Amino acid sequence: MAAPQIPFEQAMGAAIAACNAGQVDAAMRICADILQQRPAEPAAHQLLALMHLQNGALALAHSHVQNSLQVRPGHAPTLLLAGKIARAQNDLAAAAAYFSQASALNPAHAESAYLHGLTLREQGQQAAAAQVLQALLRQHPQHAAAWFQLGLLRQDLRELAAAVNAFQTALQLQPSYAEAAVNLGIVLQDSGTLDEAMAAYSQAYRLRTDTFGRIAQALTSSSHGALWLDLGALKKLLAG
């Protein structure tokens, strides 16, 4: 006698629970069983896409997410996942398109907008990226990573005062943000305020000693920096 078929909702719930518990093989088996009965089931394809992405199996992740989108093309979480898979495949144009769609469907969702702005910046579309990040920050002003990315944009555009403000805001929101402190120091140094730059560098170094290489390079390569022949002395100064 064949075993009774588990209701879809129960099987899908079991697959999600197994995935969340780190039992990936079990979750994949359950999804495979679901797809035997319901080959086009978008939720099973979506969960398989997520697990394959986490395992680095990008071709399989892409295949499953496309199968899911064929059934529900306007599903924001699946579009977000498709964007992440495209980013992992270094297809930034496709990733930006997916993130844009996901963000338009769910404007209050910070992750979609953030990844959209980040991907646009990586494509060199600085004006569009700034517009997306500024819109995100109007809704989520506490988003430290978005302030950091906006700071990088302003830094690239040589809008130094705006870059300083963005990096300082990121640090205020997340005091452990070592990368923001390093970049704040670089911008302050480029602005000709070396003492303030050194304070920012010192903050970065105390947060994470592995920032020392970037700090030393910035200090010695800029006309507004300083030549340190004794790197040990520089470390002592930064450590305060």
Mean pLDDT of 113-140: 96
Instruction: Flag whether pLDDT at 164 surpasses 90.
Output: yes
Model confidence at 226, pLDDT cuts 50, 70, 90, reads low
Instruction: Flag whether pLDDT at 66 surpasses 70.
Output: yes
Instruction: Flag whether pLDDT at 225 surpasses 90.
Output: no
In this prediction, residue 171 carries a pLDDT of 98
The structure's pTM equals 0.89
Burial 106-140 (b: 16+ CB within 10 A, else e): beebbbbbbbbbbbbbeeebeebbbebbebbbeee
pLDDT in tens, 118-127: 999 999 999 9
DSSP state letters, 67-125: HHHHH-TT-HHHHHHHHHHHHHTT-HHHHHHHHHHHHHH-TT-HHHHHHHHHHHHHTT-
In this prediction, residue 221 carries a pLDDT of 80
In this prediction, residue 227 carries a pLDDT of 63
In this prediction, residue 1 carries a pLDDT of 35
- The fraction of the chain above a pLDDT of 70, given in percent, is 95
| Superfamily (CATH) of domain 141-240 | Tetratricopeptide repeat domain (1.25.40.10)
Mean pLDDT of 96-109: 95
Residue 88: C-alpha distances to residues 134, 208, 236 (Å): 25, 27, 40
Q: Please give the structure tokens belonging to residue 42.
A: 């978008």
In this prediction, residue 2 carries a pLDDT of 39
